[in-house]
Amino acid sequence: METCNILLVKDGPQDPFDAIGQRLALDPNVTLASEAPVSVEQAVVMIWEQPEIAVILIIGQETAIPAIASAIRAARSDVHMLRPQRRLRARRPFPQQLRRRTVAGGA
């Protein structure tokens, strides 16, 4: 099976997604282009010098992503870019669920 060469680009402070590189390194179908995430500036140089880099995983503040993607796209338009997403969702329980919880709680 062919492996995918991925470069992790990091912009900003510590992030919960920083450990994603360690997880990807365990996958035999993934080759990391760098042992640690690199800056946007380093990424631009690396993708120009290493055409085998196929995917860029961007880790950074939501507001910084468009500028990072533009810089990468300007350097090499054929590379795929991904970014992890945080999806926090509050769900209100239906009235029936509230009644069941109240009854189950001994009320």
Task: Identify which of 38, 76, 31, 74 has the alpha carbon closest to the alpha carbon of residue 58.
Answer: 38
Amino acid at site 7: L
Q: Kindly give the parts of the chain with pLDDT less than 70.
A: 1, 15-17, 86-107
Instruction: Classify residue 38 by its DSSP letter.
Output: B
Please give the pLDDT value at position 66. 92
Its CATH class, for the domain covering 4-104, is alpha beta
The domain limits of the chain are 4-104
Query: Hey, is 54 helix, strand or coil?
Result: coil
